[in-house]
Structure 1
Amino acid sequence: MLTEKELKEIKALQLLCEKHGGFQLKLNDVMLQNRTENVKEDFFHYEDGQLVGFLGCYGFGNKVEICGMVHPDYRRRAIFSTLLEKGLAESKKRGFKRILLNAPTSSVSAKEFLKTIPCSYTITEYQMKWQKTDLIIDSSVTIRPSLTNNDREAEIQLEVLCFGFAEEEARKYNQELTENSTEQKLIIEVEGKIAGKIRVSEVNGEAWIYGFAVFPELQGKGIGRKALSKVVAMEHEKGLPVFLEVEAKNAHALRLYESVGFRTYHSQDYYTYLK
């Protein structure tokens, strides 16, 4: 698990790199703050006691996403290559079937580096922020905490049906979230029956929405829009700005989020590592 000192060092380096490059890095603050004990997921490089290089690995079922950074004054010294080599070795050791390398779309240095390693562009993910707008709150959809075994089984099946997890992977992922995450796990109900799920993380004065899914047979009925509107309203009432992420290929989800008031402000490109 990361110490408070390490988390502060990572954040300071991130802010410096982002200011220098004019982009935003996806370092998954929530996951960094809830690391599993005795699992090697983070790699550091120090020079004279200062953190100048960092790489984090973020597992999601059978895939792992890797993102890192190096202080602008310490680049071209093979620091990132060394960190990446360690991250790749550990990811393969842990048995991930797919390794994705994450780079801000506007980062020229990241794109140049990616040309030197065996990888191929896979997809772009957009970060979206909610812009205050009137929300229609519908009482036919209920949002409540996930508490029971039936709730957990529904969450697992939604990971399988909506996100392509194998059932065993979904069970493991759900267990890890339950044990290690501070996120709110919420259930979407319609007429007393489970219709979907959604997670909310409140970190650093921001609310982030993750894992939003509605059972396929219930999609297209407005349930998702009503549920999302309720969750956004809940977080807005707390005074928190609300964010989420969506893949570019998911046009239906993109339209849904835009209809509730979310607007794109940043994007990340993902590359599949080919070795």
Structure 2
Amino acid sequence: MLNEKQLEDIRILQHACEREDFSLKLNWETLRSRTGVNKNDFLHYDGSKLVGFLGLYDFGNKVEMCGMVHPDFRRQGIFTKLAQEAIESARKRKDKLLILNSPAQSSSGKQFLSQLPCKLAFSEFQMKWSETTLEDYEDVVVRPSHRDDEETEVQLDIHCFQFTEKEAREYYQRILYENTLKTMIIEKDGRAVGKIRVDHSGGEAWIYGFSIFPKFQGKGIGKKVLKKVVAEQSQHGYDIFLEVEATNEHALRLYESCGFKTIERQDYYQYKGM
């Protein structure tokens, strides 16, 4: 588990690395809610200064890895050492794919990955909402999630994100007490048909876990929900972001139709040495 000083050190290091005009996906909602069950965070200090960090993130049947080294401390073997430790930790999680994440614009990240047994698996677009008029969403019902919605949330992750039941239940418990993450349930005719999560960090609103049961898809519910949530977050003064896989053309068109524009791309490589 990370203490408050370590979290602040990671944030300072992230800012130093992102001066190179790319964004690192460090999943802050996860970093703040580590349980300590697995070793997921690997830190390298030079004296009292954090100069290297690498994190592992469990998502369904995947373990994602993302990290960074301060620009002034690169080419010293720091990231190689952190990666070796992280890969060994990931190997202990049976039946998990290890996915390595790098911003598409990061030349140092791509250079490091070229030395590993991995190949590009998929890309993900990070999108930001550009203020636009949003209409025709008044009749959709989106309410806060309660503890008795657990089964709905679990089943949505199983049916829409291909989690196993065990993975879905573990994920539900892991994010349950995350203070900045708000889960909302989507209803149609009094029945729970989907969910959407919003994480507030650093004055921004990030949309996650947006999912609707397959039998209710294609009916215009998703577009109305997205409009409603975006309008509410905008009224509160937040910049609004989300992520979508490049291969998910339907979701991409939905987000673009509601005013989202691509600002960055993250590339994901599957590690072949497990």
> TM-score scaled by structure 1?
0.95
Q: Encode CA deviations 1:6-55: one digit per residue, 9 max, x unaligned.
A: 11211111111111x32111111221122224542111111122111110
> What residue number does 2:11 align with?
11
Residue 158 of structure 1 contacts residue 215 of structure 1 at CA under 8 Å; is this kept in 2? Answer: yes
> What residue number does 1:127 align with?
126
> What residue number does 1:146 align with?
145
Distance 1:192 1:168 in 2: 28
**Aligned residue identity for 1:230:** K
Distance 1:119 1:183 in 2: 32
Match of 2:265, SS state, is strand
TM-superposed deviation, 1:233: 1.2
1:122-201 equivalences under 5 Å are 122-149=121-148, 151-180=149-178, 182-201=180-199
Residue 125 of structure 1 contacts residue 248 of structure 1 at CA under 8 Å; is this kept in 2? Answer: yes
Match of 2:18, SS state, is helix
Distance 1:78 1:220 in 2: 50
TM-superposed deviation, 1:180: 4.5
Q: Encode CA deviations 1:205-263: one digit per residue, 9 max, x unaligned.
A: 11110000011111111100001111111111111111100000000000001111111
Residue 36 of structure 1 contacts residue 180 of structure 1 at CA under 8 Å; is this kept in 2? Answer: no
The counterpart of 1:205, out of the listed 197, 203, 206, is: 203
> What residue number does 1:32 align with?
31
How many residue pairs end up in the alignment? Answer: 273
Distance 2:63 2:12 in 1: 24
Residue 180 of structure 2 contacts residue 201 of structure 2 at CA under 8 Å; is this kept in 1? Answer: no
Question: Identical aligned pairs, as a percentage?
Answer: 52
> What residue number does 2:215 align with?
217
> What residue number does 2:111 align with?
112
Distance 2:38 2:179 in 1: 15
TM-superposed deviation, 1:172: 1.5
Distance 1:205 1:182 in 2: 11
**Aligned residue identity for 2:245:** E
> What residue number does 2:50 align with?
51
Residue 183 of structure 1 contacts residue 200 of structure 1 at CA under 8 Å; is this kept in 2? Answer: yes
* Structure 1 unaligned residues grouped into runs of 5+: none
Distance 2:75 2:104 in 1: 21
1:65 and 2:64 equivalent?
yes
The counterpart of 2:239, out of the listed 238, 241, 253, is: 241
Distance 1:182 1:111 in 2: 32
Distance 1:96 1:81 in 2: 24
Q: Encode CA deviations 1:75-125: one digit per residue, 9 max, x unaligned.
A: 111110110111111122233511100001011111111111111100110
Give the aligned CA root-mean-square deviation in angstroms: 1.4
Distance 1:96 1:14 in 2: 31
Distance 2:216 2:76 in 1: 53
Structure 1 residues 202, 148: closer, same or farther in 2, change over 3 A? Answer: same
Q: Encode CA deviations 1:152-195: one digit per residue, 9 max, x unaligned.
A: 21111111111111122111211212144641111001111111
Worse overlay, 54-63 or 244-253: 54-63
